[in-house]
Amino acid sequence: MTTKTITLKQPIIRGETQISEIQLRKPNVPALKGLKLLDLMQSDVNAISTLLPRITQPMLTKADVDRLDVVDFTKLTGAVFDVMGVNEEESESETDEGKSD
């Protein structure tokens, strides 16, 4: 999965515009620069808050992220892991190749 759409419980209001859905895309390496992957994997609020503006459409600002309802922030955090493929279970098939008895 390279994108995921999240419907916000509490829409973001920007002037006359109301944003009720956010699409997240899989981050590329430049989007991860300056972040520690361990912090992301531990759901560090600062790391997630830094990453979200880099991978959201419409692009969230830092102020938008800071004003998010905690439920929406949690849903977006889960979506980050989904688009990164962290939550996918890898299917490993065992073969006898390369094994010595």
Condensed to tens digits (0 to 9), the pLDDT of residues 66-93 reads 999 999 999 999 999 999 987 665 544 4
Distances (CA, A) of 50 to 10, 31, 43, 87, 98: 20, 9, 12, 21, 44
Report if pTM > 0.85.
no
Q: Where are the alpha helices (DSSP H) in 1-101?
A: 29-32, 37-41, 45-55, 62-67, 70-84
CB 7 within 8 A of CB 52: no
Q: Dump pLDDT digits (tens) for 15-56.
A: 999 999 999 999 999 999 999 999 999 999 999 999 999 999
